[in-house]
Structure 1
Amino acid sequence: MGKVAFLFAGQGAQHPGMADDLVAREPAARQTFELLEARMPGLGRLCREGSREELVQTRNTQPAVFACDLAAARALASHGVRPDAVAGFSLGELSALAFAGAFSPEDAFDLVLRRAELMDSASGRNPGGMRAVLRLPAGRVEALAAKAGDAWPVNYNSVEQTVVAGTEEALGRLDALVREAGGRCMRLAVSGAFHSPLMAPASDGLREWLARTLPVPTTVPVWANATARPYPDDPVAMAELLARQASSPVRWQQTVEGLVGLGVDTFVEVGSGSTLTKLVGRIARGATALPCETPEQLDAVLAHLEGRES
């Protein structure tokens, strides 16, 4: 029988009313929100009733998505589902680490709040944006980004999609270069050049925070965005890898391919949305990918996993 991996959604997966029905039905999800609400009063209301304008603000997005990620994963775990490995996209990596026991939920949530502040501040100091480049291989995108200057590939999402971050001037040059090369550029609705060298101040701030609250070895392998390999067991090395994550590329395609190579054939996207489910479909066409945000989706995941065992 193949292995199971949980995938934790990242920033961009937020939407009004996210995880509302799951929290209403699943005690483990509800308890997760109650625990985190003590750290951020109004968190539940933000997820249930927050407008798109509220939810798109980094300081709101990151804690809201983290809470939904962890609530969905703990709901599945309460039904006896134990993943063989976990990975998270960008912010979702912190959710994955919390689920796997690297931090307590409270410490991980405090880290998420600090990360949001630091990335927001870095965006103000080093303004920039992001583009999704379609229809060109990653190697070609890397060459075009280097030619544009002050632009860097930051999300290796799939064979057909690489996201580039940089200054707006550089991204304007990239737009023209991509068109000339026969590709397509899409502007992303984000507030900064995330996972690029422009986020170096955020990584520095995370190092300071993590020096005071070191992670511990995880109970299940957590695959790191920056390396597309599992986190090491050494707490100091774990902290440095996590600090670098804010200013390093997300190697998502390589992560999914690595998990498939280890025998994972079922991916469950825990948290809001289905973006990662769709990306798995483009990267590993023979694998099963299922979202898990609503009670109905959770039931479908449980039914699928039971069917594998029978």
Structure 2
Amino acid sequence: MGKIALLFPGQGSQFVGMGKPLYELSQCAREIFDQVDAVHPGTSTLCFEGPAKALNQTLNTQPCIFAVELAALTALKCVGVEVQGIAGFSLGEVSGLVASGVLSMADGLKFVKKRGQAMDEASQMTPASMVAVLKLDNATVEALCKEFSQCYPVNYNCPGQLVVAMLRDDQEAFLIRAKELGGRGIPLTISGGFHSPFMTYATKLLEKKIYELTFSAGSIPLYSNAYAKPYPESPVEIRDYILHQINHPVLWEQTMRNMIADGFTTFIECGPGKTLGGFLKKIDKSVLYYHVETVLTDYLEAKNAGKEWSFVC
């Protein structure tokens, strides 16, 4: 039997109303939202009701997504879902650190708030934007980036989709060139040039803050999306991995391929939207994919019908 993994999405997956179904489906999820609200007041309201402009600000987006993902994780644990591996996309990797047992929920939330603030500050220093490029291979997009002075491939999502960070003033010219090459560029609702040298200032801000966190030996392997392999056990190396991820590319496609090669056949997306599921199906159609809300709905239907339930692939 193949192994099961949790996938936590990152910034860009947010939308007004996210987490509300979890709140309604699971008492365990409700308790997590209440705990986050106690530390970061208004988080659940911003998730459920918006407004979108406030939700899309990095210093708000990151705690909100983290809250949804921790609520989803806790809800799955409460119904007995057990997994053998974890991966998180960008911000989602912090949720993964909590899910794997490396960080406590309190430290995870503390770091997410500091991470969001640091990345927001870095974003204000240099106006940058991010564009998802479709229908072009990675080599073509990488060559296109070299036509601009500060333009970087940052998210290797799946075949035919590579996200690029660039100076905001270059976005229009970049979109035109991508179209000329036969591709399509889609500007993202992201407030900065993440996972690129634009975030080096954020990394420096977090270098001291990260020593305020306590790291433990994880009980479940967590795959780093910056290295596409499991996190090490050494606290020093864990800190390096976390900081490195902020201003270096997300190697998501390679991370998924490595997990599949390691025997993972079933993936549960544990957060807002189904973006990672879309990537996964383009990487390998043979794997099984579920969204957390589907799993919880199946559980409740079985419970209401008086039937025994377990998550079996």
TM-score, length basis structure 1: 0.93
Q: How many residues align?
A: 308
Flag the 1:218–1:162 CA change in 2: closer, same or farther, 3 A: same
Alpha-carbon distance in structure 2 between the residues aligned to 1:79 and 1:172: 48
> Are 1:141 and 2:145 matched, yes or no?
no
Alpha-carbon distance in structure 2 between the residues aligned to 1:140 and 1:300: 48
SS at match of 2:15: coil
Alpha-carbon distance in structure 2 between the residues aligned to 1:70 and 1:223: 18
Flag the 1:48–1:297 CA change in 2: closer, same or farther, 3 A: farther
Flag the 1:125–1:193 CA change in 2: closer, same or farther, 3 A: same
| 1:260-275 alignment, distance < 5 Å | 260-275=260-275
Can you list the C-alpha shifts for 1:119-171, whole angstroms capped at 9, x where unaligned? 11000112110111111111221121122221010000111100000112444
SS at match of 1:215: coil
1:116 paired residue number:
116
Alpha-carbon distance in structure 2 between the residues aligned to 1:175 and 1:301: 49
| 1:145-294 alignment, distance < 5 Å | 145-293=145-293
Alpha-carbon distance in structure 1 between the residues aligned to 2:129 and 2:298: 34
Would the aligned equivalents of 2:102 and 2:217 in 1 still touch at CA under 8 Å? Answer: yes
Whichever residue aligns with residue 113 of structure 1, its letter is K
Q: Which moved more, 1:125-134 or 1:48-57?
A: 48-57
Can you list the C-alpha shifts for 1:26-64, whole angstroms capped at 9, x where unaligned? 222122122222210122222222222221111211111
Alpha-carbon distance in structure 1 between the residues aligned to 2:302 and 2:224: 25
Can you list the C-alpha shifts for 1:4-34, whole angstroms capped at 9, x where unaligned? 0100121122222222232233222122122
Alpha-carbon distance in structure 1 between the residues aligned to 2:101 and 2:35: 16
User: Per-residue deviation at 1:280?
Assistant: 0.7
Can you list the C-alpha shifts for 1:260-286, whole angstroms capped at 9, x where unaligned? 101111110011111111111111110
Alpha-carbon distance in structure 2 between the residues aligned to 1:122 and 1:298: 43
Would the aligned equivalents of 1:33 and 1:44 in 2 still touch at CA under 8 Å? Answer: yes
Flag the 1:155–1:299 CA change in 2: closer, same or farther, 3 A: farther
Unaligned runs of 5+ in 2: none
Structure 1's consecutive aligned runs of 4 or more residues displaced over 4 angstroms after TM superposition are: 297-305
User: Per-residue deviation at 1:301?
Assistant: 12
1:130 paired residue number:
130
User: Per-residue deviation at 1:305?
Assistant: 6.2
User: Per-residue deviation at 1:299?
Assistant: 5.5
SS at match of 1:147: coil
Unaligned runs of 5+ in 1: none
Alpha-carbon distance in structure 2 between the residues aligned to 1:301 and 1:289: 20
1:296 paired residue number:
297
Q: Which moved more, 1:81-90 or 1:204-213?
A: 204-213
Would the aligned equivalents of 1:130 and 1:165 in 2 still touch at CA under 8 Å? Answer: yes
> Are 1:17 and 2:17 matched, yes or no?
yes
Whichever residue aligns with residue 127 of structure 1, its letter is P
SS at match of 2:12: coil
Alpha-carbon distance in structure 2 between the residues aligned to 1:67 and 1:135: 34
Q: CA RMSD in A?
A: 2.1
Alpha-carbon distance in structure 2 between the residues aligned to 1:154 and 1:298: 38
Whichever residue aligns with residue 178 of structure 2, its letter is V
Percent identical among aligned pairs is: 38
Flag the 1:298–1:151 CA change in 2: closer, same or farther, 3 A: farther
TM-score, length basis structure 2: 0.92
2:106 paired residue number:
106
